[in-house]
Amino acid sequence: MATLRAAKELLRKQVKLKVAALSDEEKQRQSVGVLKTLISHPKYVSSERIAVYLSTNDEVCTEEIIKDIFKCGKSCFIPRYEIKTSHMDMLKLSSLQDIETMPLTSWNIRQPPEDDNSREEALEGGGLDLILVPGLGFDRLGRRLGRGKGFYDIYLKRCSRHPKGKPYTIALAFKEQLCQEIPVDDNDMLIDEVLFEDDE
């Protein structure tokens, strides 16, 4: 267990350095490419209820994706992380402007405040069709290197208990986040597909 933790920590440092070396222009360029691939993806096109993360500077930018979700008349859900635990909910967003009124967490991510109970939580309603998953690193077999808190792994396990079943999961990545192989254990949930700019 300790060996796995150490291997993950080392990989996190390596991937963070690679992403930190990218210019803002390059991150934007790759984000646009990933967006184009995503919005023509059959799973995205057929999904009505989509959960998406609000991106930070070291992640594929999701702002245009959120705009597209609303433009297509789909329902958009975003994460609310409970920082002291590993609990996360996916709460419904009413509009793009809705995000701007939300407070920033200590991680510099906007999210609905803890006392905001007026929003639909995806799993208490009709479940989710698709989750766009963040992460630090991914491999081509769908193994994901998160930030070590387990938010998404635990949430995906909750999803699999919903009557609708586990939603399709797509990770959005810069090509610099692709790893040869990511060490995982039984708690790590696999991602169905990783979208990135492929040079091949």
Domain boundaries, the chain: 2-195
This prediction has a pTM of 0.93
pLDDT for the residue numbered 114: 83
Q: 3-state DSSP call for residue 143?
A: coil
- Given a cut of 70, whether residue 199 has pLDDT beyond it is no
| Residue that has been written with the tokens 């991914």 in this structure | 138
DSSP 178: B
**Is 168 annotated as a binding-site member?**
no
The DSSP bridge pattern shows strands 193-195 and 168-172 to be: parallel
9 in a labelled binding site: yes
Q: 27 among the known binding-site residues?
A: no
Q: Is residue 93 marked as binding?
A: no
pLDDT tens, 132-161?
A: 999 999 999 999 999 888 899 999 999 988
The bridge status of strand 130-133 relative to strand 49-52 is parallel
Name the burial class of residue 12, with classes exposed (0-12), middle (13-18) and buried (19+) by CB atoms within 10 angstroms of its CB.
middle
Is 11 assigned to a binding site?
Answer: yes
2-195 has which CATH code? 3.40.50.10420
How many CA atoms within 13 Å lie on the side-chain side of 156? 20
Q: Which two tokens stand for residue 102?
A: 């939300």
- Residue 59 among known ligand-binding residues: yes
**pLDDT tens figures, 58-111:** 999 999 999 999 999 999 999 999 878 889 999 999 998 898 889 888 778 898
Distance set, CA 108 to CA 43, 55, 161 (Å): 30, 10, 31
